[in-house]
Amino acid sequence: MKLSKFPRLVQKEILDNMEMLDIFLVSFLSKNMKKMIKLSQISRFKTINRVVYGYYPFQDNRAVVIPFPMAEHLEEFIKRRKEAKNEYFQLNVSGNEMDFRLPDKGKYRLYDFPEASFDKSDQESVLKSIHYYLLDFFGDSVDYQLSTNYYAHLIPKLPHLSVCVTFNLSVLHDMKSFEDFLSSTPVLKRIQMHVCGTKKRLSPESKLYQAEYIRTIQHDPHFPAVLRHFQGRQAFLSFAKCEDLELIEFVKRWKSGEAFQKLEYMKIKMTDNKPPRYEVLNAVGVKYTDKTKQPPTHTLAKVFITGDCKPYTDPIISHSYVVRESDNRVASVSIHRNELNFGVWNKTEDEFLKLMD
C-alpha cells in the first residue's frame, strides 16, 4: 500500500491512528514521507514535551522513550545481537547505516523507537546520528534528555541535549575527577544520587547544585549540602537525620530572597526523626489561611518523571504559608509525619488568598 496515492485527509487519518513506533519506521521510507509526517502530525507532536535516551523505560504519555544503553548494558546488547541476527534490519539515520531491531511486543510497549545495536566504540556516533534525526523530526521546542550515570562517561555535547545523571557518591574516591566530570557536562537536567558513609565536601559552586531536578538519599544533609546550596527548580531529599534548625534556615533563606530563587518544589523526608510541627512552623513565621475555607492545592508537572511514573508532584493542601520579602511571592508549607513539603506559587499573597474566594 502506497500512502502517497491517497488524498491528504486520508493520509492524515491513517497516520493519526498509527503508533509512534510505526510513525518512526514509515518516516525512513523517503524524505518526502518524513516531511509529510511532520506536517500532518503537528498537533500530535505538540503533546510531546521531551525525548529521553535511556535504558530504563517508564510510562509517560508526554515523552518519547528511545532505547539507548549505557556502558553497563552494552555487553548485554551486543550479546543479544549475536544470538538473534535475523531479527535485525538496517536504517539510514542521518547518513549512517545502523542495525536495529523492533522492541519486544507486549500489552504495554515500553519504547517508541527501534532498538539500535552497535559496538562500544560507536556509541557516541550512534547517539549523535539518532539525536540529529529526531531533532529534525520533532524540532527544538522539545526537551531532549540523555539518561546516564557517572561511570558511563558518555556525555556528548549536542545541541538541545540535557543530561540526567545517576551515581553513588559513597564509592567515589577522587572528588576532583567527579567535579571535573560535572563541570564538563552540558546542561544538567536531573541528578539522582545515593550518599552513604562519606564526609567529602563539594564546592558550594559545584554544578551538582545547579541541576534543575535533584533526588537524593543521604545520611547527613551536609554531604553534599543540597539543602543549603540547591539552585534548581525541584528537589526530593531524604535524610537519615535533619535538625530542626536546618529546616528553619532553609525556609528563612527562601523568605529573605537570599537563596532558592528558582525553587518550585521541595520535599524533605527524615527517616530517623520527626520534626515538631509547631516549633518549626512558628520559627519561620508562617501565616495561615482562613480555617473555615478549603486551602488551595499546590501541584505542578515534574521536571523529570522517575520510576514511580507520577507526572506531577504530590499535592500540598495546607493552611500554612510563607511570603517572600523581595517579591511578595507565596509558598505553601506542610509538615506531616516525617516530611516537610514546600511548594512555591507563581502568585503574590493577595492573588493566592483570592483562590479561596
Is residue 63 located within the same domain as residue 106? yes
The range of the structural domain enclosing residue 133 comes to 48-154
Q: Detail the DSSP E strand segments found in the chain.
A: 50-54, 63-67, 89-93, 96-101, 115-117, 143-149, 161-168, 188-195, 213-218, 234-239, 265-270, 287-288, 297-298, 316-317, 320-323, 329-336, 339-348
Is residue 100 located within the same domain as residue 18? no
Dist. CA 101–CA 27, nearest whole Å: 16
pLDDT of residue 74: 46
Residues of the chain under the 70 pLDDT cut: 1, 55-61, 69-86, 104-110, 150-154, 169-174, 197-198, 273-276, 306-309
Last residue of a domain, one of 133, 154, 175: 154
Is residue 38 located within the same domain as residue 83? no
| Residue 116 in domain | yes
pLDDT of residue 83: 55
Is residue 67 located within the same domain as residue 141? yes
pLDDT of residue 109: 52
Q: Which pTM was predicted?
A: 0.80
Is residue 65 located within the same domain as residue 147? yes
| C-alpha grid cell, residue 9 | 485527509
| Residue 22 in domain | yes
Is residue 60 located within the same domain as residue 147? yes
Q: List, in order, residues 6 or more apart from 249 with CB less than 8 Å away.
A: 228
Dist. CA 38–CA 27, nearest whole Å: 9
Total domains present in the chain:
2
Is residue 134 located within the same domain as residue 59? yes
Last residue of a domain, one of 124, 154, 184: 154
| C-alpha grid cell, residue 33 | 514521507
| Residue 188 in domain | no
Is residue 129 located within the same domain as residue 111? yes
The H helix count followed by the E strand count for the chain is 11, 17
Q: Which of 257, 170, 185, 173 has its CA nearest to residue 220? A: 170
pLDDT of residue 72: 46
Is residue 39 located within the same domain as residue 20? yes
Task: Give CA separation, 100 vs 65, 114, 134, in Å.
Answer: 15, 6, 16
Is residue 91 located within the same domain as residue 135? yes
Q: List, in order, residues 6 or more apart from 266 with CB less than 8 Å away.
A: 230, 234, 235, 236, 237, 250, 340, 341, 342
| Residue 339 in domain | no
Return the number of other C-beta atoms located less than 10 Å from residue 246's C-beta: 17
pLDDT of residue 114: 85
Is residue 15 located within the same domain as residue 29? yes
Is residue 99 located within the same domain as residue 150? yes
> Over the stretch 91-121, which tens digit does the pLDDT of each residue have?
999 998 988 888 766 544 567 788 888 887 8
pLDDT of residue 353: 97
